Chain A
Amino acid sequence: MKTPRLPFRSNRTERPRQTVPDVHRGIVGALDWRFRRVRWTVRAIHAFTLAFLLVAGLGPLLWLAKSAITPTQDTLRMPLALWPHGFDLNYLTQAWSQTHIDRYFMNTVYMAIGSWATQLIVATTAGYALSILKPPGTRILTALVLATLFVPSIVLLVPLYLSIVDVPFLHIKLINTFWAVWLPYGASAFNVLLVKRFFDNLPSEVFEAARVDGAGPFRLFWSICLPMSRPILGVVSVFAVVASWKDFLWPLLVLPNPAVQPLSVRLPTLQPTTELNIFLAALAISTLIPIVIFLIFQRMFLSGGDVTGSVKG
């Protein structure tokens, strides 16, 4: 019995097959696929890639999960053995409560929520003003926002730090407060331009209809613009939360007080004083949220939405 829809499963025939469906036409085309040598080489490469990615991509995570619940001596002496002396879930709870990972975890959560909020507020209001309202000077402002994309972040590092120590003109001290992280995160040119471009492509008929019905600029923004831009707001939100969870250098500078530090800043200082199993349990806890976000919003990450954020490293 032949199953023509899945020719790469049934085969064992010597002669070239002609009924290769057009479901896949890429570099390895139907013509190449007729040759058994090609088929097996391609399959071997894919099998190898799958094995390689399982080890390289999932391996470290699984190892971390395992080591978070095994004794320190096992991890040091036999790092690749599977529970030689059993496992203990208590390491996770110890890390959570005794090394105060709970507090740093919550700090990270606050940091992420706040910088998500500022990024969303700045990006949507600015995108709306620059794309829909278009006051005089829109082009200059857009150019000024665009210009900051071309300035490497190192140029900002020192003067931004000084602005946090003493906010210019206002003379407020933001150091050791979450505002020091939240506010600078709002100045994301990428978000503003991304949202602006999305608003540019919204159908103008809707706005005109709403105006005819007497909607003012605030009504337009809240009831028309925002509901129509859910997809892009989702992208901005997810990347805002993940980026804030990953950030290290900036919170290191502006949050010197351990009581307000996030996980990323706290973990390196915990390393020398914490026992390895507890420390690895802490690392595992810190990885959990980003991995869960990734699993939920996989499609968003894998469609290449994170183009700029990613290459920054």
Chain B
Amino acid sequence: MDSPARLAVAPSGTRKRRGPLGWVSRDGLSSLLFLLPMLVIFGFFAWFPIVRDVVMSFQRTNLVDTPKFVGLDNFAAVLNDPLFGKSIGNTIYFSVLALVFGYPLPLILAVVISEARRFKGVLSALAYVPVVIPPVVSVLLWTVFYNASPTGLFNTVLSWVGIGAQPWLQNKDTVMPSIVIESTWANAGATMIIYIAALLSVPRELYDAASVDGASILQKIWHVTLPQLRGILLITMILQLIATAQVFTEPYLFTGGGPANSTMTVLFLIYHYAFQNSLGGDYGMAAALSIMLALFLAAFTAIYMWLTRSWSTNS
């Protein structure tokens, strides 16, 4: 940065830098070499596929025939698919349930754990353990827990308190809540860690001042903690919504979309179009649906940010 230092290092550098050739011979070549891995990897596996997805959504393409532009046909085909509305409804249901079960839990855990005077590390480690377990293992393990027979693990626990055996994953009314409970269990710890870190930055003086003014503990949580966290709370909410809108692994492994398509989500439908088609993948339709979902999420995020702009300022 400092010009004296620069000059001392390479007195001729400033002159050589003028022309593009001089730049290449000086350290331009090494810059290029260092940039090369990123340019290649991002070029092939990030930037090009993003552009290609947009192009493909207007094409009929299945890897066998040469791609052909078909205008908005793919979008029309997706919109006319009865599974489209079904999958959107299921995804919204999943997201809302995940918000109801999964949004308050990490916050409550974080507040309680950061107030612990002992075992703070143990408590947060325990809450974080499910996050480390590979999602496939978690889901497969929970399918065993959700065993619908009266001797299934959860049904055994329910029988202790006198509740009859539940069908869990085998009934279309209980399947989605069951999946959401597993998903909440698997993800709550990660969000909790974010809150615990954020709670550390709440100025202690605010609590002291509130105490002096006679605030009770609950009042301090309501009037000091939550307002201080609102920036991070707004962000975790939108991130959770974006993540749950793309849920795939859980319904795919738990139920394969069933029973009666009641857990068919949007991402599952994309997968279905592209990879579960016996006639060869309909990549155009899959691309069209993924573009629609991405655009929706972008618009939704923009509106969310705009609506909450006055809350999220400050801290």
Complex Cα gap A100–B217 (Å): 56
- Which residues of the partner chain A approach B138 to less than 8 Å between Cβ atoms? 60
Q: Which of A186-241 contact B (CB under 8 A)?
A: 186-187, 189, 192, 204, 208, 211-212, 216-218, 221
Closest beta carbon of chain B to A125's beta carbon, Å: 5
The listed residue (B46, B121, B143, B283) touching A187 by CB distance below 8 A is B46
- Which residues of the partner chain B approach A204 to less than 8 Å between Cβ atoms? 1-2
Residue B234 CB within 8 A of the other chain: no
Residue B100 CB within 8 A of the other chain: no
Closest beta carbon of chain A to B274's beta carbon, Å: 5
Residue A176 CB within 8 A of the other chain: no
Question: Given A49-B109, A162-B283, A311 and B141 touching (CB < 8 A)?
Answer: no
Question: Given A78-B151, A268-B136, A158 and B217 touching (CB < 8 A)?
Answer: no
Whether the Cβ atoms of B30 and A156 lie closer than 8 Å is: no
Residue B47 CB within 8 A of the other chain: yes
Residue A86 CB within 8 A of the other chain: no
- Which residues of the partner chain A approach B53 to less than 8 Å between Cβ atoms? 155-156, 158-159
Whether the Cβ atoms of B208 and A29 lie closer than 8 Å is: yes
Whether the Cβ atoms of B217 and A290 lie closer than 8 Å is: no
Q: Which of B32-65 contact A (CB under 8 A)?
A: 32, 34-38, 41-42, 44-50, 52-53, 56, 63
Q: Which residue of A lies closest to B242 (CB)?
A: A152
A282-304 toward B: CB 8 Å interface, digit per residue (1/0)? Answer: 01001100110110001001111
Q: Number of residues in A with C-beta < 8 Å to the partner?
A: 114
Q: Which residue of A lies closest to B218 (CB)?
A: A27
Q: Which residue of B lies closest to A164 (CB)?
A: B45
B112-135 toward A: CB 8 Å interface, digit per residue (1/0)? Answer: 111111010111111111111111
A107-144 toward B: CB 8 Å interface, digit per residue (1/0)? Answer: 00000000000100110011011100111100001001
Whether the Cβ atoms of A64 and B141 lie closer than 8 Å is: yes
The listed residue (A57, A151, A268) touching B130 by CB distance below 8 A is A57
Whether the Cβ atoms of B132 and A121 lie closer than 8 Å is: no
Closest beta carbon of chain A to B240's beta carbon, Å: 6
Whether the Cβ atoms of A160 and B30 lie closer than 8 Å is: no
Question: Given A158-B287, A183-B44, A221 and B194 touching (CB < 8 A)?
Answer: no
Whether the Cβ atoms of A304 and B193 lie closer than 8 Å is: yes
Whether the Cβ atoms of B153 and A290 lie closer than 8 Å is: no
- Which residues of the partner chain B approach A144 to less than 8 Å between Cβ atoms? 42, 47
The bracket for how many chain B residues form the interface is 35 or more
- Which residues of the partner chain B approach A184 to less than 8 Å between Cβ atoms? 41, 45
Complex Cα gap A79–B150 (Å): 11
Residue A31 CB within 8 A of the other chain: yes
Interface-forming stretch among B79-87, B170-178, B246-254?
Answer: B246-254
Whether the Cβ atoms of A57 and B5 lie closer than 8 Å is: no
Q: Which residue of B lies closest to A309 (CB)?
A: B190
- Which residues of the partner chain B approach A183 to less than 8 Å between Cβ atoms? 41, 44-45
Whether the Cβ atoms of A311 and B294 lie closer than 8 Å is: no
Question: Given A187-B41, A246-B134, A291-B133, A302 and B124 touching (CB < 8 A)?
Answer: yes
Whether the Cβ atoms of A311 and B240 lie closer than 8 Å is: yes
Residue A167 CB within 8 A of the other chain: yes
Q: Which residue of B lies closest to A245 (CB)?
A: B134
The listed residue (A27, A50, A263) touching B123 by CB distance below 8 A is A50
Complex Cα gap A46–B109 (Å): 10
Whether the Cβ atoms of A135 and B28 lie closer than 8 Å is: yes
Complex Cα gap A165–B64 (Å): 12
Residue A24 CB within 8 A of the other chain: yes
Question: Given A158-B286, A183-B44, A249 and B246 touching (CB < 8 A)?
Answer: no
Residue A56 CB within 8 A of the other chain: yes
Whether the Cβ atoms of B136 and A141 lie closer than 8 Å is: no
Closest beta carbon of chain B to A62's beta carbon, Å: 11
Question: Given A80-B153, A133-B27, A294-B132, A53 and B123 touching (CB < 8 A)?
Answer: yes
Q: Which residue of A lies closest to B289 (CB)?
A: A154
The listed residue (A58, A165, A312) touching B129 by CB distance below 8 A is A58
Whether the Cβ atoms of A217 and B34 lie closer than 8 Å is: yes
Whether the Cβ atoms of A126 and B294 lie closer than 8 Å is: no
Q: Which residue of A lies closest to B61 (CB)?
A: A162
Residue B307 CB within 8 A of the other chain: no
Whether the Cβ atoms of B190 and A80 lie closer than 8 Å is: no
- Which residues of the partner chain B approach A24 to less than 8 Å between Cβ atoms? 117
Complex Cα gap A226–B22 (Å): 28
Question: Given A187-B46, A294-B132, A268 and B253 touching (CB < 8 A)?
Answer: yes
Q: Which 10 A-B pairs have the closest CB atoms?
A: A310-B190, A126-B38, A135-B31, A159-B49, A57-B126, A129-B34, A304-B197, A53-B126, A159-B52, A186-B41
Q: Which residues of A contact B (CB under 8 A)?
A: 8, 24-32, 38, 42, 45-46, 49-50, 53-54, 56-58, 60-61, 63-64, 67, 75-80, 118, 121-122, 125-126, 128-130, 133-136, 141, 144-145, 148, 150-163, 165-168, 183-184, 186-187, 189, 192, 204, 208, 211-212, 216-218, 221, 242, 245-246, 248-249, 253, 263-265, 267-268, 271, 276, 279-280, 283, 286-287, 290-291, 293-294, 298, 301-304, 306-307, 309-313
A-B contact pairs, 29 of them (CB 8 A): A25-B204, A25-B208, A42-B115, A46-B119, A50-B123, A56-B126, A57-B126, A78-B156, A122-B41, A128-B34, A133-B34, A148-B50, A152-B242, A155-B294, A158-B286, A159-B48, A161-B274, A184-B45, A192-B38, A208-B2, A211-B5, A212-B8, A246-B134, A264-B137, A267-B140, A291-B133, A301-B131, A301-B132, A302-B196
- 20 new A-B contacts at CB < 8 Å, known A46-B119, A246-B136, A310-B191: A46-B115, A50-B119, A79-B153, A129-B34, A129-B38, A135-B28, A158-B274, A159-B49, A161-B274, A161-B275, A162-B52, A162-B63, A163-B45, A163-B52, A166-B63, A183-B41, A183-B44, A186-B45, A294-B129, A311-B240
